[in-house]
Structure 1
């Protein structure tokens, strides 16, 4: 019996040495870890407001600047010359506008033309009256001639009386023709007077189009003058805010176009944090999430809070040459640090889930089993027992357990393929 026992003990499998961890309760944070950098929240790029020759900028990076201080100057002479030219052109147009009135016929000329029409009409009326008298006289003379002719035939009148009557009728006919010509001449005079008056009235209105032309040119020139005067004033470039100079983009004097960046400035005390993460991690980050900032050069961890997640991702090639879609997370420091500056590198841990009393197990104890579920080996009475585990959240080191493990249980860390159910084990420690 003793020999059999010794033989059984000799052939029993040797316990496998393992590292053990413990299921316990405590705080657990799930974070998205990424590198970030600081950035001045309100950075201003001051550009040249007008084209011209830039004077040398005497500021250097780091120089303090007060709000409204002169930071650059552009030679105003070309613009000043254009302003004077526009002013001279404006005076010329105003003089031409005033001269339009001198091109109109005077009111006295119009009154005289109207008077001539009235005189011509009166003369026409008189000629028409004389024509009527001539017609009446001719009719009477014609009757007298007929009567004289009849009496001479009857022997009651002498030949001379008849001849006198015929002469009188001829004279009346000639007087009628003269009166008719006088009426026609009077009608022509009236028409000529009316035409002259119409011409004067047309000349009175002819300069109206010049008024519109000069007024439009004056309005255009005034607008140009306002713009030129404004540009001339903007040749002195001032700081929109107080702060420090970050970069001087144009140091030397040279000709620059409008919109050319000159320098950057801002308040270095108003820093924000920019962290770019994978888009798959960005969907987990919500505004208000807390951030722990490490490895920034100081002795303690800084705190920050997510302000917003940028709505658009960008493509970046990783060190391995793989294209990645990444998203910027923008956060504010709590409180703002004094030691950091613009563009400083930091390491950030964004808290996306947290439980101050979570049931947690080391991630190294978990492995995938059937149907891609999580399992772990629990040490019970010197043997390994496999358990299926349901977890809710996990960080890089620990996972929150929903079901399958209890507080105080020992689990095998980094289980190998040698570990099987009911395998005898012993702790290395």
Structure 2
């Protein structure tokens, strides 16, 4: 009897141990609702129209007293001061040569004016002789040849007068050129002409309204003409985002696509639209050393500036460019999809049993997929199906405490 009871207990324990149990799975429902596909990439903010303040002439830049972030007003705020350098004015030999050239030009001008006086006298004499010859010719007291010679002499004298007048104009131009060699920034007349009462100082005014973004040259130094000093821009009114997309993603983007700006530090997401897609891709290397072709895409921010008042120039943001959107789509979790014979399929939960159901998928954003055929709203599907889940296997929903 004891042996029989012991055998029955062992058989019951073995049956309980090996009795088929349902596979614990996670389930989710197929739903209808809005769905969109986005291309997510990091971007950088920048001022749409930034201005570089540079040196107008070669000279010595005084120490810049303004700081990044200071507001400026176009044409009113002085952002820097310069002291121009004129090596020719400091070179004694060059200055003496210029003075000698001025004196030579003045002498040549006096000679040209004397030549003009002589030409005028010759022309007056030739004119009087021509008048006498014409009077004698009318009375037939002189020959026609003499009259022709008088006319020729008058024309030659007129040409000499014109030549002398042209020579005076040329000498005056040479004199002005020679005097220009003596002009320096230490000339009070030149300082007054350019509207600067202090001839030793050249103020640099802000070219636009906004704030100083950065200063390239803070300390006093000597710079050539055109050297950058600082950058100025309007952060509040002209801020945009530049996103460098992989070229295969950039071909899916169009001008006017909606953009959602996230992870910028503010409480709410910002919105914008794609305003420009550059036609030229640039080569860059990823952190793993992989060569990539990146396309700069410019995003114009929309909405009031108060929403992004803490956002500045060169800040990092995450841009989600919407390339497809539908308000009423049949959606299934992407984690429920798997390949079955080259097509997409899911395990549909039906009466505690897993059933393989082929589906036709449209758009997929990595979290949800658009269902074109095979499922209906309300169907339950298995998420992350393991190898233990097979067609017809008993399943039970996992309960999370």
TM-score by length of 2: 0.72
Distance in 2 between residues matched to 1:200 and 1:77, nearest whole Å: 51
Asked if 1:346 is matched to 2:346, the reply is no
Is the contact between residue 79 and residue 232 of structure 1 (CA under 8 Å) also seen in structure 2? no
Residue 76 of structure 1 deviates from its aligned partner by 4.8
Distance in 2 between residues matched to 1:311 and 1:196, nearest whole Å: 76
1:409 is aligned to 379
Asked if 1:109 is matched to 2:79, the reply is no
Is the contact between residue 248 and residue 264 of structure 1 (CA under 8 Å) also seen in structure 2? yes
How well do the aligned residues superpose, as a CA RMSD in angstroms? 4.6
Structure 1 pair 99/425, CA: closer, same or farther in 2 (3 Å)? Answer: farther
1:384 is aligned to 354
Which segments of 5 or more consecutive residues in structure 1 lack a partner in the other structure? Answer: 1-5, 129-186
Residue 211 of structure 1 deviates from its aligned partner by 5.6
Residue 264 of structure 1 deviates from its aligned partner by 0.8
Residue 203 of structure 1 deviates from its aligned partner by 3.4
1:40 is aligned to 47
Q: Which among 210, 232, 235 is matched to residue 265 of structure 1?
A: 232
Residue 218 of structure 1 deviates from its aligned partner by 8.4
Q: Secondary structure at the match of 2:249?
A: helix
Decide which moves more: 264-273 or 204-213.
Answer: 204-213
Equivalent residue pairs, number = 359
Residue 195 of structure 1 deviates from its aligned partner by 8.3
User: Equivalent residues in 2 for 1:360-371 (5 A)?
Assistant: 360-371=331-342
Distance in 1 between residues matched to 2:62 and 2:223, nearest whole Å: 10
Structure 1 pair 314/251, CA: closer, same or farther in 2 (3 Å)? Answer: same
Distance in 1 between residues matched to 2:357 and 2:180, nearest whole Å: 85
Residue 284 of structure 1 deviates from its aligned partner by 2.8
Q: Secondary structure at the match of 1:405?
A: coil
Decide which moves more: 238-247 or 104-113.
Answer: 104-113
More helix by share: 1
Is the contact between residue 309 and residue 327 of structure 1 (CA under 8 Å) also seen in structure 2? no
Is the contact between residue 302 and residue 333 of structure 1 (CA under 8 Å) also seen in structure 2? no
Asked if 1:207 is matched to 2:222, the reply is no
Residue 418 of structure 1 deviates from its aligned partner by 4.2
Structure 1 pair 121/308, CA: closer, same or farther in 2 (3 Å)? Answer: closer
Structure 1 pair 339/196, CA: closer, same or farther in 2 (3 Å)? Answer: closer
Residue 369 of structure 1 deviates from its aligned partner by 2.9
Distance in 1 between residues matched to 2:169 and 2:66, nearest whole Å: 52
Write the deviation string for residues 189-241 of structure 1: whole angstroms up to 9, x where unpaired. Answer: 99998887676455345436526745876898999999x97995694321122
Q: Which among 272, 275, 300 is matched to residue 331 of structure 1?
A: 300
Distance in 1 between residues matched to 2:289 and 2:33, nearest whole Å: 40
1:172 is aligned to none
Write the deviation string for residues 64-90 of structure 1: whole angstroms up to 9, x where unpaired. Answer: 2222122223325749979x989x97x
Residue 22 of structure 1 deviates from its aligned partner by 1.5
Asked if 1:71 is matched to 2:79, the reply is yes
Q: Which among 57, 65, 78 is matched to residue 58 of structure 1?
A: 65
Which segments of 5 or more consecutive residues in structure 2 lack a partner in the other structure? Answer: 1-11, 197-201
2:393 is aligned to 423
Q: Secondary structure at the match of 2:359?
A: strand
Q: Secondary structure at the match of 2:126?
A: helix
TM-score by length of 1: 0.68
2:199 is aligned to none
2:254 is aligned to 286
Residue 390 of structure 1 deviates from its aligned partner by 1.5
Residue 400 of structure 1 deviates from its aligned partner by 1.4
Distance in 2 between residues matched to 1:353 and 1:280, nearest whole Å: 16
Which structure has the bigger radius of gyration? 1
